[in-house]
Amino acid sequence: MKRAATRMMTSEAITFEGTTAMTDRTLGDDQHTGPTGRVVSLLKTAALVVTIVGAVPTAITAYHAWQYKVPFSQVSHRLAQYEIWERNIDCKIEYKALSTAEGTKIDAGACDETGDISLKVSTDDGKATYEWIAYNQLQKPGEAPPPAGLIDLLIGAAQAQDAQPGKGNIRLAQGLEVVCQSLVSKTQLVRVVREDGKCFREIMSPVRGTVDKREEVPCETKCTAAG
């Protein structure tokens, strides 16, 4: 019995000693490889973060393309157009109009306060779109603000071409005048414009620049969502 007990104790001691020895080696290995493992883990995390951060602008652009129903490649330009609308929302522009032989009508005008140029392109089928040309895209160092002169040049060119029958394809037409306009939301802008002695209420997208609805209204109509 004593011998058996001694053997059991010896066996447990050996097992305990073996286990301790293995644990020491394992701890020793962890102490040796731990910092390297942590560095690798940090590098992987950093790479993942960089990938995610790099994808964020693309995801935001894709969301805006879906939100405003514009092509992915035009998102930046269309958002810039909205910013110009915001900047000129209190500007009542008097447009000068040109119409081409093909029936397309172009109304052009500049805001006196900002110098930004507004263009409205209308076709025979009733469709119309607005496009802005920012003043800082035209300005050159040392030169006076060009918008008014540019519009006058367009009108002058049209007059010169009309003076030569058969050579010009642009003719003058009566322009429109902004009675009021209101930026109801980022997806809706309401304008009342006077054209050919009548007033029209236009509901449009300030981001896309498209006129979604146009109807004749009394000239005292308010520029609100309800009309």
Q: Which two tokens stand for residue 114?
A: 């900002």
Give the full edge-to-edge strand order of the sheet including 211-217.
176-185, 188-195, 198-204, 211-217
| pTM (predicted TM-score) | 0.63
Do β-strands 170-173 and 198-204 pair in parallel, antiparallel, or remain unpaired?
A: unpaired
List the Cα angle 181/186/191 in 5-degree steps. Answer: 15
List C-alpha distances in Å: 122 to 4, 104, 207: 107, 6, 18
- Backbone phi, psi, residue 78, to 5°: -70, -40
| 74 vs 48: CA distance, rounded Å | 29
pLDDT digit of tens for each residue in the chain (227 aa)? Answer: 445 444 544 444 444 444 444 444 444 444 445 677 676 777 667 665 656 555 556 778 788 778 788 888 888 999 999 999 999 999 999 898 886 667 788 899 999 999 999 999 888 888 899 999 998 887 555 666 554 445 554 544 444 444 444 444 555 556 789 999 999 998 999 999 999 899 999 999 999 999 999 999 999 999 998 76
Residue 72, Cα to own-chain centre: how many angstroms? 10
